């Protein structure tokens, strides 16, 4: 049985070591599910997350909020070496754009 209205972030990757697909959930990094097909790996990890949530609820533990429900401001701070800051500022000036626009473009 899987969760109703499941909004968690899942992904399926191939594992060379296991020679199977691995189902993963970002909000539950300690859980995974191995299967022979990507579809089975996704179904399996969704079931494991559902079961894990039931256990957490029974134990009174907090349930992770799905990333899709979180609100993002679009702002964050990053510390970089002064030389990198200077080089990026020079590049932005040469391209005639703001430092913010240059860095945003590099990150996207």
Mean pLDDT value of segment 19-35: 97
pTM (predicted TM-score): 0.72
Pairing mode, if any, of strands 10-15 and 32-35?
unpaired
Task: Output the pLDDT for position 66.
Answer: 95
Residue 3 confidence class, pLDDT cut points 50, 70, 90: confident
- Separation CA 58–CA 46 (nearest Å): 19
pLDDT digits (tens, 9 = 90+) for 58-96: 999 999 999 999 999 999 999 999 999 999 999 999 999
Q: Which two tokens stand for residue 85?
A: 């800051």
Planar angle of CA 36, 38, 40, nearest 5 degrees: 65
């Amino acid at each position: 049985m899987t969760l109703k209205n499941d909004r968690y972030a899942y992904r399926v990757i191939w594992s060379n070591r296991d020679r199977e697909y691995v189902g993963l959930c970002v909000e539950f990094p300690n859980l995974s599910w191995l299967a022979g097909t990507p579809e089975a790996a996704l179904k399996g990890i969704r079931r494991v997350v559902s079961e894990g949530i039931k256990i957490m609820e029974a134990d009174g533990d907090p349930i992770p909020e799905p990333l899709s429900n979180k609100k993002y401001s679009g702002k964050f701070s990053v510390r970089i070496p002064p030389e990198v800051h200077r080089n990026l500022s020079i590049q932005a000036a040469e391209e005639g754009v703001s430092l913010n626009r240059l860095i945003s473009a590099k990150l996207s």
